[in-house]
């Protein structure tokens, strides 16, 4: 089959490209087909980025959600933030998470589950 890669301009083209990609995923690809596959995926991702943006969550909400998910007491965060008052201030939204703290939070939660792939960015505005 021959496909002419081009920017996706509407939902019909988007659905068609998704269908082509899905068909390509179910078989062994030649080098040329692999390059075409990569290009089609990039075009689909670009369309999705423009038409289906993902809202960034509030870092405090992310932190609270993770604490709840893993049933972790806020006291466990004292080593990261320095003291209990600062932990409460951050969770209460009164103080921002510093980049070094964000890095430590990502490392802390990633150690709890191999399924997580958090980065400092997940805890920064």
Residues 6+ apart with CB under 8 A from 25: 37
d(CA 36, CA 107): 37
**Is the Cβ–Cβ distance between 92 and 77 less than 8 Å?**
no
**What average pLDDT does the structure give for the chain?**
91
* The pLDDT of residue 51 is above 70: yes
What pLDDT, on a 0 to 100 scale, did the predictor assign at position 2?
67
Give dist(CA 100, CA 98) in Å, integer: 6
* Distance in Å from the first CA to the final CA of the chain: 45
Please enumerate in sequence order all residues whose Cβ is within 8 A of that of 112, keeping only pairs 6 or more positions apart, or say none: 70
Is the model's pLDDT at 1 over the cut of 70?
no
How much is the average pLDDT of 85-93? 94
Q: Please give the model's pTM, rounded to 2 decimal places.
A: 0.57
Report whether pLDDT(100) > 60: yes
Q: How far apart are the C-alpha atoms of 107 and 14, rounded to whole Å?
A: 37
Residue 102: pLDDT above 80?
yes
Domain ranges of the chain: 11-51, 59-123
């Amino acid at each position: 089959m021959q496909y002419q890669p081009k920017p996706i301009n509407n939902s019909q083209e988007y659905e068609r490209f998704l269908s082509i990609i899905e068909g390509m995923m179910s078989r062994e690809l030649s080098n040329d087909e692999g390059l075409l596959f990569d290009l089609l995926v990039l075009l689909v991702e670009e369309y999705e980025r423009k038409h289906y943006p993902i809202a960034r969550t509030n870092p405090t909400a992310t932190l609270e959600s993770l604490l709840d998910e893993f049933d972790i007491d806020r006291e466990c965060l004292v080593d990261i933030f320095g003291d209990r008052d600062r932990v409460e201030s951050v969770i209460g939204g009164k103080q921002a998470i510093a980049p070094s703290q964000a890095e430590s939070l990502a490392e802390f939660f990633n150690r709890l589950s191999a399924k997580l792939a958090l980065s400092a960015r997940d805890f920064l505005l």
